[in-house]
Amino acid sequence: MIAIDTVLVKLASRCNLDCDYCYIYRMGNDTWRRQPKLMSDQTISAMACSLAALVENQSHPLSVVFHGGEPLMVGTARFEAACAELRTHLPPSVGLHVQTNGLLLTDEVIDVCARYDVGISVSIDGPAEVHDRHRPDVRGRKSHAAVTAAIGRVLAHPQGRSLLSGLLSVIDLQSDPADVYEFFKSIGTPSVDFLYRDGNHDALPIGKASIVSTEYGDWMIRLLDVYLADPNPIRIRLLDDMMRLILGGRSVKEGVGQDDYGILVVETDGTITKNDTLKSADGADKFAQTWTVHDDLIALVRSVAFSEYHWAQRPSAAVCLACPELRICGGGMPTHRWSAIRGLNNPSVFCADQKRLIEHMRDQIAIRTAA
Ligand code: SF4
């Protein structure tokens, strides 16, 4: 049976921010409107039982990530109930995490995370002028001050440093990577992960002039140079993964490298879907058959449809299969390969960016290992 690494749980289908790059609300897919706003207690209980049966059938470690929308819109009481229900049914080895925009990350919520050992990751794009360009609240108000205050609350909590698994930042090409890096260092986070703006061959990511231009690769090279020059760096997961791959190791997350990841999403009504980043690829996140948390998830994972979805992570484009950098790049995220005409049978829209970044990384590693 294919192992499941990550289950993304949509405790809420709405968000209290209105980020201009959001792949759920801003890329032409409005299926979220038909979902209940919040996951019910009954759905949470059914999900906990079905995940317990799934975990019993695999030796591979599983992580459950509360996701959204904004998961904390479910309210502190139901958030705690969800944590308690999952901790009751799942073995302690299962990791629980919450990916939040931070606006509702109160001391009470942080206490809940500490009680149930829930890792916290906060989405923030950098200094105020960068973050507030793209992440206003639903009334158009700036959110940076509230988010940095929330990160401060986590770090001030007695268990906060072990709870904060890191920050998640979407790249703004208008920003200076050095300023963004210094900001993240200044707020005391142990790590930060960077995401490219979503896009595909029919709708290029914001800031990318053409399929052969390298704006994202150039931005990442500037970030890498700052990172490598820092004698006491914070961790940057994407750069670390890529350099580890160049040195012969493995990645830890989808998007680079050739490892396959078993990912399922639970919507607020209990429906199971594929990785929700595929929403921006013409709604390709849905299985043809409707599966829910009331079904046998082992049967789902053993189904042909799941296998097809799972193996579609591997690139199929001839240019990728012949590429000398395939082991590092991995062909990119499936959603970044998509086009209406060829489906996922394309290289990543970030192909030129990744090639440029990998070349620079190889040069930097060679310089340092020769010194
Ligand atoms: S997307 Fe480009 S760099 Fe990546 S494997 Fe495919 S051809 Fe190579």
Compute the average pLDDT of residues 258-280.
Answer: 87
Cβ–ligand 1 distance for 334 under 6 Å, the answer: no
pLDDT at 322 over 90: yes
Please, are residues 96 and 38 in contact by the beta-carbon 8 Å criterion?
no
Amino acid at 258: Q
Structure tokens at 156: 């001030």
Distance 331 CA to ligand 1 centre (A): 5
pLDDT value for 26: 59
Residue of the nearest CA to atom 2 in ligand 1?
351
Count the Cβ atoms, other than its own, within 10 Å of residue 7: 24
Alpha-carbon distance of 114 to 336, in angstroms, equals 36
To test ligand 1's pocket by mutation, which of 321, 323, 338 has the most ligand atoms within 8 angstroms of CB? Answer: 323
Q: Can you give the pLDDT at residue 32?
A: 65
- Give residue 134's pLDDT: 85
The secondary structure element, H or E, covering residue 106 is: none
CA 43 to chain centre: 23
| Selected residue with higher pLDDT from 31 and 191 | 191
What is the structure's pLDDT at 23?
Answer: 64
User: What is the spatial distance between Cα 219 and Cα 177, in angstroms, rounded to a whole number?
Assistant: 7
Picking from 64, 152, 141, the residue whose alpha carbon sits closest to that of residue 102 is 152
**Closest to 154 measured CA to CA, from 102, 192, 193:** 102
Does 103 have pLDDT greater than 90?
A: yes
Greater confidence (48 vs 26) lies with 48
**Ligand 1 nearest-atom number relative to CA 324:** 8
Environment class of 340 (CB within 10 Å of its CB; exposed 0-12, middle 13-18, buried 19+): exposed
Q: How much is the CA Rg of the chain, to the nearest whole Å?
A: 20
- In short, whether 242's Cβ falls inside 6 Å of ligand 1 is no
Higher pLDDT, residue 358 or 261: 358
Question: Is-contact 358 325, C-beta < 8 A?
Answer: yes
Strand order in the sheet with 263-266: 235-236, 191-195, 164-170, 118-123, 95-100, 63-67, 6-10, 263-266, 271-273, 291-292
Give the CA dihedral 252, 309, 201, 329, nearest 10 degrees: 30
Cross-strand partners of 236? 192
Report in angstroms the alpha-carbon separations of 216 from 108, 204, 206, 246, 261: 39, 12, 10, 19, 24
Residue ranges of domains in the chain, CATH in brackets? 6-357 (3.20.20.70)
Indicate whether 24 pLDDT > 90: no
CB atoms within 10 A of CB 58: 16
Beta strand pairing call for 271-273 and 291-292: antiparallel
**Closest atom, ligand 1, to C-alpha of 350:** 1
Q: Take atom 3 of ligand 1 and give the residue whose Cα is closest.
A: 351
Measured CA to CA in angstroms, residue 121 lies from 93, 99, 193, 235, 306 at distances of 19, 5, 10, 14, 28
For 122-126, 273-277, 316-320, which range has the lowest pLDDT when averaged over its residues?
A: 273-277
- CB of residue 347 inside a 6 A radius of ligand 1: yes
Q: How confident is the model at residue 282 (pLDDT cuts 50, 70, 90)?
A: low
**pLDDT exceeds cutoff 80 at 127:** yes
pLDDT at residue number 28: 56
Whole-number Å distance, alpha carbon 319 to ligand 1 midpoint, is 7
